[in-house]
Every structure is written in C-alpha cells, then in structure tokens.
Amino acid sequence: MGALLSTQPPQAGPFSRCPRTDYSKFIKARETRNMPEAAHLIDRELSWLSFNERVLEMAEDHSIPLFERIRFLTIFASNLDEFYMVRVASLLSKLESSPGSVNSAGFTPNELLEAISVRVRELALRHANVFKDQIIAELAKEKIEIIRWDGLSDDERNHVSRIFSDRIFPVLTPLAVDPSHPFPYISGLSLNLAVMVKNPKTSEEYFARVKVPPILSRFIPVSPAPNTTRFLPLEELIAIHLQELFPGMLIEDHYTFRITRNQDIELEDEDTENLLTSIEQELARRRFGPPVRLEIESGVGEKLRNKLCEQLNINPANVLSLPAPLNLRDLMKIADLDMPKLNFPSFRSRTVASLREVDAEEPDLFFAAIRQGEILLHHPYESFTSSVVQFLQHAAQDPAVLAIKQTLYRTSGDSPIIEALIEAAEAGKQVLAVIELRARFDEQANVRWARKLEAAGVHVVYGLMGLKTHAKLSLVVRDEAQGLRLYCHMGTGNYNPKTARFYEDLGILSADPVLTEDLTKLFNQLSGFAPHSVYSRLLVAPRTLRGSLLEKIANETAMAKAGRPSGIQIKLNSLLDEEFVDALYEASQAGVKVDIVVRGICSLRPGIAGLSENITVRSILGRFLEHSRIYHFLNGGEDEYWIGSADLMHRNLDRRVESLVRIERPTHKTSLQEIFDLSLSDETSSWRQDQDSWKRVSKSSAGEPLQDLQSLYIKRYKKAH
C-alpha cells in the first residue's frame, strides 16, 4: 500500500470503464407480452438511476470546486442508499407477493431487479473510481491526504495508536460467531469489519464482526498539530489493531462491509384510530427491516463473502463488491474543512424588494407590505428567513393576530417556525398545526414536534385518513380596524429554514381575500369535515388537481387543432403518471409545443416521430437543488401559471393532499416565464433527454462554456439588490 489510496491517473482495469447498460433482453421480453404502449414509457426506477447518474456527472466535472465535487459524491451515495431502503425494498416485497405481475413499462419484478442490479453495479463502480482515481489525487494537490497505515511516519503511527488506545479501543465491541454466540444484528448503513480468526491450538476458524463506531470521526488526524490535513480512515486504524481485540487468536482475513435494510414504513391498518402511536410502533420495528443490499470491499475471500450472504439472506443480485473505502457519505467531513477556495463562492440570500424597507420589529408594516400586493418569493436567491419565517414570527408576536394555521411536512431540528407556533399558542392565539407524521425519514422528528406542540396547547392534527398532507400552506387571521383580514403563504418547498438555503423554491405571500378564503376551506377540510369545498384559485389533490390539469392539457390540444395559440411548459421534480404521459403525447401529436424541465424521474420519451417530436425534456442540476413546480398553459394567448407542491406522480395526484395556486399578477407571470426561458435556452447548460438517454450539454458548438442557470440568477439578484 502506498501513502495515498491512489495518486495515479485512471488506469485501464476492471473499475475504470463502465459500459452502457444493455436493456435489449428486457425489451424483447416486453415485446413478447404484446404491450406496445410500454415501449413509450421509461421505467420509474431506471429513470431515477439516470437522475442519480446526472448527480455523479457533477462530481466528475472538473470545472466545479473540489469540495463541491466531493459533496456531489456524497449526495450520489446518500441517494442510492435511500433508493435501496425504499424502492428496491418495495420491489423485493412485490417479487414475493406477485412475481408474475408486469408494470406499466413492461417489466416483471424479477426483470426489473436484474436491470437495476446491472445499472447500479455500473454506477457504483464508477462512483468509487471517481474518488479513487480523481478526487484523491486532487486532494493531494491541496495537501489534503487520506493515508493508509503504510504511509505514516513512526511519529504518526505512535500518535494514532495512542488515540486508538485512549478513545477507540474502549468503545469497540467485537462480536464472535460460534455455537454460543449467534450471528449479530447488523444495523443498516453501519460500516463494519468482517474478520476471520483461527484458534492456533485447535485450528478452528471463526467469523467475527467489529462495528466501526459512527459516533467517532471517520477520518483521524494523524498529527496533533492544529489544522492538520492528513487523515487515517478509522476502519484502517481498527484493522491494524485487530490483534488487540482478539488476543491469542490468529487474524486470517478482514474486510469492510455494509448492509442496507428495508426502511419503508407501511401501516398495516390505514384506519387506525391513533396514527401517532402506530407511527411510533412502526419506527421501532423499522430498524430491524430485512437486509436488501450488501456492499463489501472488493478482494474479499469467497469463504467470508459466502458467510455474510448466507447469514444475511441477501439476494446475490444485490451484493456489490467495491474498492475501499466504503460509505463515501462520510466524505462530507473532508468537504467541510475550512478551505473557502475549494467551495463555491459565498452567496447570501437577499430580502425580497417588497420587504426590504420594512422594519423587522414592526408587524404592522410587514402585513401592510403584503396588503399592497401579492409578493412572489424565489428561494434561495431571496431569503426564506426574512420573508416566510418572519411572517410567522410576526404572526406569533402581534397582538392583533387571533389565529395561525400551518401545514408541516419537513422542518429543521431547531425550527424557528415551530417555536413561533408554540409562542403563539402560549400567548392565547388559536393555533392549528397539520403535521404529516409519514414524511419519509422524518417520521421520528415529526412525532417529536407533534408531542411538543400538543404540550404547548397547539391543536395538532394529522390530515386526512389515508392521505399524506404535502401542501405547503400558512394562514394568519388578523383583527384590523376594518375587521378581520386574512394573510397567507403558499410555497413549493418545505417550511425548513436550513434546506431553504440550498433548495430552489417559489412561494407567495398574499392578502388576496379570494385566495385566503380558499385556504380557509382547505384547512377546514384538513382539520374537520369539508370534502366538497369549491376553490377559486386553488387546485387541490386528490379531488380536483388531476382532472383540472388533464383538462388544461386537453384544452391546449384542442387549441392546436383549431389553429389557435397553444403551448405547455412544466417545471417539476418528477413526471411519472401514465395518464399525463399519454395526454402530453396526444398534445404533441396535435402540434402543441411541450417543454418540460425535470429534476428527477421522467417516464416520458421525447423525440419519437409521430408521437413526441414536439416535446423537449431538460434537466438542470447545480449548487442548489431545483425543487420548484411551475405549470404554464398558453391557453389561446391568455396564459395561465400555477405553482405549488405537486409533481405528476400517482402518489401526489391520488394519495396526497397537494395544492397548486394560480398566479395572477403580470409581473409575477413574467418572472416565472423567465425561469422557463432561461432553463430551456440553448445558451444554458443542461442535460437533454433523447428518448431514453440523457446527454449533458455544457459547451456551445464553438467549445465555449454555456451559462449556468443558478450562477446567472445569483448575479442577477446581486445586481438588482
């Protein structure tokens, strides 16, 4: 072993080149099932893997600062973990319950698992090699080194050995497997050492497992000097000292491994009377979900590999052999080193112009600014804290405010919004919080918030039975000289001040009585019984959103056939619903120009002659996560723009409470159109979909770099302010 994991340029070998996935065998199987419509759909899971490949391409982009490339590596890894915890876990369950079923894209569960396995293996090896063959060498140029034991000096070895003795050894718990010690429970996503040991007296071999403690730093500074940038991986330090954990035994072999468990929550009884208790019980069970993936260090001996697969009951298709180090999510610790030149240039959100001159201590002035006209917010370019958070904080502190109603899907751990709701309730205001307990991977946090809010006197409800509440809504009732006046906020993103710093989202602050009446009806539906409410500016799932959007697409189709102006532009996170794919295909066939900007999944295939040649699909990734949803219909020249929380997926349209709000002000429509114009411009860097493949276009035909959309917006907002 050398001083670094690798400082050499990429070499030809098993991990340096990954061939494109060949799906021909699955296409042939689909053809034998006489499913011609399936040929026009891209499978959800395979489309998602294409999205994660786009994330990986950001990590491979040498024009991006080094630490940001590392962050994209960690995002790719985190995304893939969640993909296995939820999507592959669900597919494995389907393989057991209905192995012969065929999905809308023409795959049986077994075929899809095989296709996923091939694609993931390709991407995971590529991901590992980006770190091994590129990032390590570039870190070394910045004098940041991730060292193996062989590369340490004697002084450094003495230093880290003292750390091992003083701080690591007491924490470790080696677990052996023999007739009196069953195979240990392996927690999901933990990094572990699999060790084969031999008793020198009896020659008997045993398997043992040592967990790499997640509470300790993954990368150990090899020197006591402050600001050192040479690190030894924790698992390497443990491996070197294994003999101390198994005195008197021979260490025959050791490798790192990691498993992923089914982490999806499925309530057995959706009609349960106490959803909070059911969620808490399911959370307790979730950590013991069955393993769905095994990652193991490449080069492991067959005996050790077979032992793990047997004990964990892992499908061989879901075993990945990868070069060490495993679990590159921990690289975030390296990316967080204080070296500004290796990060994107600093950026600070600006207060929206309508609120810039408002005294932060004067609620009257803040609400007066909203009364003067609806305010469109574009985060993170415009501050979430000085707009949405301040809106709720003013509402909590203002004696004139009588009531606050709020939906919460995800929020931060130290949420000022939660604190504002508690403050309002303690001041005697009527406060309603609609908390979604089933927000995936935020269930535990939301249970805690629900308990805390209830203890403070907030009316906490969990929405409608069988439906997740995903709509982003705030409503404030204020007693003014002219009588009661209502104010509201609607957005495309969560009420999370932390993620609002790097999620691109839209929102509006409004005192429009038509809109606030709509929100009053919607909150009454969420907290009581109002299933047949009629809305003026809102489309609400699951009752009106699907049908209304399909009608608007059909209207554009009719306009095109009649020779009138038509067009559809959509910006969203995912497009999956088959009914919408078919409707957009029909619009394209009628001559409607359809432009789609999608971040993640897209089941639609553009560019098919006679079907979708009028459809373009683009994707934009950058330092901010593109999260806003915008729907634009040309409508014969009377443009309609809608923003909100809903993607075009079954779950959003049929199994969630979602909302879109119609944008009224001409200046706001212009701002939304600018987002489309810039996103779709040939002068903007983006990924472009051609049927079922994606290509990144970041340079002009002359070889000049194309403009980065998010950098352009940063410059524009800085200049405007």
Residue 24 corresponds to which amino acid? S
Query: 51 Cβ partners below 8 Å, 6+ apart?
Result: 599, 600, 601, 619
Coil/strand/helix, residue 643: strand
Strand partners, 401: 478
* Degrees, nearest 5: CA angle 51-54-60: 155
Distance CA 436, CA 468 (A): 6
Give the Cα separation of 211 and 636 in Å (integer). Answer: 64
Task: Provide the token pair at 680.
Answer: 């779709």
CB burial readout 464-483, b (16+ within 10 A) else e: beebbbbbbbbbbbbeeeee
Alpha helices in 313-415 (DSSP H): 332-335, 363-371, 390-397
Beta bridge partners of 231: 146, 221
147 DSSP assignment: B
For residue 153, which amino acid is it?
A: S
The yes-or-no answer on residue 627 being catalytic is no
SS3 670: helix
> The tokens of 419 are what?
């604190």
The runs of H, that is alpha helices, within 427-569 are 443-455, 513-527, 545-561
* Residue 445 CB neighbours (<10 A): 15
CA atoms within 13 A on the CB side of 309: 15
DSSP state of 131: I
Cα(223)–Cα(156) distance, rounded to whole angstroms? Answer: 6
Contact 633, 520 (CB under 8 A): no
Task: Please check whether residue 329 is in contact with residue 78, taking contact to mean a CB–CB distance below 8 angstroms.
Answer: yes
Give the Cα separation of 434 and 97 in Å (integer): 34
CB-count exposure of residue 671 (10 Å: 0-12, 13-18, 19+): middle
| Cis-peptide into 19, omega within 30 deg | no
* Dist. CA 438–CA 660, nearest whole Å: 21
Block residue for tokens 């923003």: 643
Please, which residues bridge with residue 618 across strands?
Answer: 597, 688
Are 616 and 688 in contact, with CB atoms under 8 Å apart? Answer: yes
Choosing from 127, 378, 470, 627, the catalytic residue is: 470
Any idea which residues carry the catalytic annotation? 470
